[in-house]
Chain A
Amino acid sequence: MKEIKNKAKKEKVVLVIEDERPLVEAINTKLEQNGLVVITARTVEQALHYLEDIAAIDAVWLDHYLLGSDNGLDFVAKIKSASSKWKKIPIFVVSNTASSTNVQSYIRLGVKKYYVKAGHRLEGIIKEIKSFLDHPDE
């Protein structure tokens, strides 16, 4: 943990909340290749613990369907609540859910962007996240 805290000072940290193991590994590899530090969680509960313990999360990669009782929307709702100290962390939702009501809910709750997993190259998504982290005001 301490290691990560130090690294956080120079490199950006991305919290990846995804429960599919093969995908997590691919995402992890690609993110690290792009110079980002990766923390992975499979449930909302786990993700919230990490947020609590590691103060320096710079971005969140979030899937919709997760292990456990909460899904991605629950996570965003908790993060974006008025009293939350993590309101400002940009959330990139990368999911395969087809429901447009879900997509609308995410956007309304204030996520940075929504990607349909199967419609994007991994490289493409990561480049956009990186670009945002480097120039957060654009």
Chain B
Amino acid sequence: MRKKIISLADDIARKLKILAEEKEDVRQKLAVTAEALRLKAKQLVVTAKEKEDVRQKLAVTAEALRLKAKQLAVTAKEKEDVRQKLEVTAKEKEDVRQKLEVTAKEKEDVRRKLAVTAEALRLKAKQLAVSRETLEEKVLERTKDIAEARAKEEAILASIGDGLAVVDKEGKIMYVNQSFEQMLGLKVKEVIGRSMVEVVPREDQNGAEVQFEERILTQVLSGKKFVADLTNPFYYIRKDKSRFPVSSIVTPVVLGGKIVGAVETFRDITKEKDIDKAKSEFVSLASHQLRTPLSSVNWYAEMLLAGDVGKVTPEQKKYLEEVYRGNQRMVGLVNALLDVSRIELGTFLVEPEPTDIVKLAQVEIGEQKLQIGAKQIQFSSSFEKNIPLILADPKLLHMAVQNLLTNAVKYTPEGGKVRLTIALSDVHVLIKVSDTGYGIPKNQHDKIFTKLFRADNVREKDTEGTGLGLYIVKSIIEHSGGKIWFSSPGKTPLGGESQENPGTAFHVTLPIN
């Protein structure tokens, strides 16, 4: 049995040695492993640190990514908008493409038609080539004719005696003729293309230059109608600064309903002005010559009647009074003739100013008081309120009203009625002078306003008159832009019209402006 236990103990010692060796191995392995683990732990710490760094970097990156995500979101939105727009554009492109397709189709149709036409044209061209030769000959002929006609027209234009200037719608000179050159001392090439108003200055009598806006040319080109004021003469200035009086007419050139330019013709009226001056002086001198002997007779008769050269018997007085009266009639006639000649020669100086027609009428009535009283005329008048001032020459208006009133009083028998009214009607002033007098015979109505005419009925009644009064009145009224007419029997509210005295009513209208 000891052998067995020694062997067992050996076994166990062996097994323990083995175990110890194994433990040592394990212990060494564990040591190694521990060492390794320590290393690993160190590494893990490093790794953990690195992980922490990485985590922080990731955090930053995450933040950056969030921002980027936001940007991307915005960008995504923009991209979405653009995408939608692109969609729209794509749609539009599609529409256009479809239209182009249609157009392409139409083009194809047209191309086919053109092909047909081209063929037809080729044929026609052949025919035309033949006619062309004949035509060319004819054209050459015609051109010659036209050139001749043109040359003739130019010669006509060039030789028009009046100055001629044609301007475009801006007033720039397109053509001037020889007379223009001669009258103004300017050459064609100096003025072509330049403004007419600039190149030809215009001034009035007093030397004041007429400004651009006031030039007739400017007004005509802008479509305004221009009425020349004949009492205000103009002068054109020549190149050498001298001037001459001018009468000009400017008319617009209208093409297709539009003003494309204007044509001006003008004349040097120095001679006419001199003649006018001579006429005025003639009238002045003639009136003096006629009136001088009349004044002589007047004053001598006056002195005789006044007894300045001795006593005069009643019979002599009567005769002298006839002489005096006759002479007065002559004076009246000469005055009237002078007025007529001045009206006809146009040398009457008309000076319009705002005139109170009512006041003027009242002054006239005052002047007639004596006559009215002497014939016991029942005179009445009525003036509407607020009659505006009229633009008229007061001394001429005075003459007209005086004439009408004197006539009414003169041609009405004693005790008759005369009435003067002034009323307003839209843009006119209405003056009416009516009477219950001798009237105007119906068959002589048309002659009443003619020179030196006196109706039979008033001549029978031995009334005095020159026969010029109404002619002068009519001239004055019409010159002032008004109208005059009469009715006889006068349709007036005067009443008492009889066969013998049908009465007359004269009507005058005068524009207010």
**Could you tell me how many residues of chain A have their Cβ less than 8 Å away from some Cβ of chain B?**
25
> Which A residues lie within 8 Å of B306 (CB)?
123
User: CB < 8 Å: which of A26, A27, A102 contacts B284?
Assistant: A102
Please measure, in the bound complex, the distance between the C-alpha atom of A101 and the C-alpha atom of B280, giving whole angstroms.
Answer: 10
Chain A residues in 8 Å Cβ range of B299: 23, 26-27, 30, 121-122
Q: Which residues of A contact B283 (CB under 8 A)?
A: 98-99
Output the nearest chain B residue to A124 by Cβ-Cβ distance.
B302
B188-232 contact mask (Cβ, 8 Å, vs A): 1 or 0: 000000000000000000000000000000000000000000000
Cβ of A118 and Cβ of B295 under 8 Å apart? Answer: yes
**Interface presence of A136 (CB below 8 A):** no
Which residue on chain A has the smallest CB distance to residue B347? A99
State whether A96 touches B292 (Cβ < 8 A). Answer: yes
CB-defined contacts of A119 to chain B, threshold 8 Å: 331, 335
Closest to B342 in A: A98
Name the residue among A22, A33, A96, A97 with the largest chain B CB count within 10 angstroms: A96
Within 8 Å of chain A (Cβ to Cβ): is B37?
no
Instruction: Say how far B268's CB is from chain A's closest CB, in angstroms.
Output: 24
Query: Which one of A30, A97, A121, A123 lies within 8 Å of B288 (CB-CB)?
Result: A97
- Beta-carbon nearest neighbor of B324 in chain A: A121
0/1 per residue, B305-323, Cβ < 8 Å to A?
0101100000000000000
A100 at the interface (CB under 8 A from B): yes
Asked if A42 CB lies within 8 Å of chain B CBs, one says no
**Residues of chain B contacted by A88 (CB below 8 angstroms):** none
Render A98-138 as a binary contact track against B, CB cut-off 8 A, 1 for contact: 11111000000000000011110111000000000000000
Q: Complex: how many Å from CA A27 to CA B300? A: 10
Q: Does B362 contact A (CB under 8 A)?
A: no
B287 within 8 A of A: yes
Q: How far is the CA of A27 from the CA of B280 in the complex (A)?
A: 29
Interface of B (DSSP majority class): helix
**CB within 8 Å for A101 and B349 given contacts A33-B308, A123-B302:** yes
Given the interface pairs A23-B292, A117-B295, A118-B334, the reply to whether A96 lies near B302 with Cβ below 8 Å is no
A30 touches B308 (CB 8 A): yes
- The yes or no answer to B285 lying at the interface (CB within 8 A) is yes
Looking at the complex, which one of A97, A99, A100, A118 makes contact with B298 (CB distance below 8 Å)? Answer: A118
In the bound complex, CA of A102 to CA of B349 (Å): 12
Which residues of B lie under 8 Å from residue A100 when comparing CB positions? 349
Q: List chain B residues, Cβ under 8 A from A26.
A: 296, 299-300, 303
The answer to whether B512 has its CB under 8 Å from any CB of chain A is no
Residue pairs across A and B with CB atoms within 8 Å: the count is: 68
CA distance A118 to B349 in the complex (A): 21
Does A95 lie at the interface of the complex (its beta carbon under 8 Å from any beta carbon of B)?
A: yes
Q: Are A98 and B300 in contact (CB under 8 A)?
A: no
A107 to chain B, nearest CB (A): 14
A132 CA to B334 CA, complexed, in Å: 31
Closest to A122 in B: B299
Chain A positions within 8 Å of B294 at CB level: 118
A26-B303, A30-B303 known; A118-B291 Cβ under 8 A: yes
Contacts of A64 in B (CB 8 A): 288
Q: Once the chains are docked, how many angstroms separate the CA of A96 from the CA of B289?
A: 8
- Is B281 in contact with chain A by the CB < 8 A criterion? yes
With an 8 A cutoff between CB atoms, is B338 at the interface? Answer: yes
Contact B342 A122 (CB under 8 A): no
Which residues of A (28-87) have their CB < 8 Å from a CB of B?
29-30, 33, 64-65
Asked whether A122 and B292 contact (CB < 8 A) given A30-B308, A65-B285, A99-B284, the answer is: no
Query: Which residues in chain B, 254-289, are within 8 Å of chain A measured between CB atoms?
Result: 280-281, 283-285, 287-288
Q: Judge whether A22 and B296 touch: CB under 8 Å.
A: yes
A11 within 8 A of B: no
B 352-368 to A, binary, CB cutoff 8 A, 1 in contact else 0: 00000000000000000
Known A33-B308, A118-B295: A95·B288 in contact at CB below 8 Å: yes
A98 touches B287 (CB 8 A): yes
User: Cα distance A99–B300 when bound, in Å?
Assistant: 26
| A99/B292 contact (C-beta < 8 A), A29-B308, A30-B303 known | no
* A18: min CB distance to chain B, Å: 10
Q: Which residues of A contact B287 (CB under 8 A)?
A: 96-98
Closest A residue, CB atoms, query B338: A98
List A contacts of B295 (CB < 8 A): 23, 96, 117-118
Q: In the complex, what distance in Å separates the CA atom of A119 from the CA atom of B280?
A: 21
For A27, what are the chain B residues with a Cβ–Cβ distance below 8 Å? 299
Q: What are 10 residue pairs bridging A and B, where the CB atoms are less than 8 Å apart in the complex?
A: A23-B292, A23-B296, A26-B296, A95-B288, A98-B284, A118-B291, A118-B294, A118-B298, A121-B299, A123-B306
A-B pairs with lowest CB-CB distance, top 9: A98-B287, A96-B291, A99-B284, A118-B291, A122-B299, A117-B295, A26-B299, A96-B288, A22-B296
B residues touching A (Cβ–Cβ < 8 Å)?
A: 280-281, 283-285, 287-288, 291-292, 294-296, 298-300, 302-303, 306, 308-309, 331, 334-335, 338, 342, 349
User: With A29-B309, A96-B287 given, can you name 4 additional A-B contacts, CB distance below 8 Å?
Assistant: A95-B288, A99-B284, A118-B298, A121-B298
